[in-house]
Amino acid sequence: MDSQSSLKNIEQDMAKAIEQLQRDFTGIRSGKASPSLVDGLSVNVTSYGSIMKLKEIAVVTTPEARTIMVSPFDPSTIEDIDKAIREANLGFNPVSDGKVLRIPIPEPTEERRKELAKTAKTVTEDTKVRIRACRKDGMDLGKKMKADNILTEDAQKDFESSVQELTDKFVKQADDSFTAKEKEILTV
């Protein structure tokens, strides 16, 4: 394996950590309606006798900034969906009209906002740990390639320098993402 393809793999692993951070952030609600708050919920559909993901049995949309609308493909599943949302302990109280569920998203309290910001910080730190683990793997790989005479000593230093640059770039992305998410959470 040469140093360029190794760097590419390290960069891809670090990018995956950032992608996971973005996915994790969608689950941290800021008071704005988002389909991702509920579309991953599991619903025990009694008429089908199976447990399914909400997004498999309904269309989840946000017609307004503070409302999530769930439109089941089969109206007979609406009570099962309502029950699943209430049992998920998300603090939502769906309102049914028999055809669709409307879920008003309450404004989080100041204390709740601070908790959510703390959760976002923890998720960000976990991501940075994953990025640093990729860095460690990269540094170890540089030493191994030097030991296997694939890299010269200067090439190893260049390789390790490139790994560090990637690490700095992705840690900054994680921090920037956190700053934006924190602002979104704390803005009333």
pLDDT, one tens digit per residue, over 99-126 is 889 988 877 788 888 888 998 999 999 9
Residue 170 near residue 15 (C-beta atoms within 8 A): yes
Phi, psi of 44 (to 5 degrees): -85, 100
3-class SS at 138?
Answer: helix
Q: At residue 1, does pLDDT exceed 70?
A: no
Please, which residues have CB within 8 angstroms of residue 134's CB and are 6 or more apart in sequence?
A: 10, 13, 14, 17, 167
Q: Which residue has the higher pLDDT, 89 or 135?
A: 135
Which of residues 26 and 180 earns the better pLDDT score?
Answer: 180
CATH architecture for the domain at 3-27+110-186:
Orthogonal Bundle (1.10)
Cα distances from 106 to residues 55, 81, 88, 109, in angstroms, run: 22, 19, 16, 9
Tell if the pTM clears 0.75, that is, is over it.
no
Give pLDDT tens digits for 32-77. 777 877 877 888 888 888 888 888 888 988 888 888 899 999 888 8
Q: What are the sequence ranges of the domains in the chain?
A: 3-27+110-186, 35-104
CA distance 106 to 33: 9
Confirm or reject CATH 3.30.1360.40 for domain 35-104, answering yes or no: yes
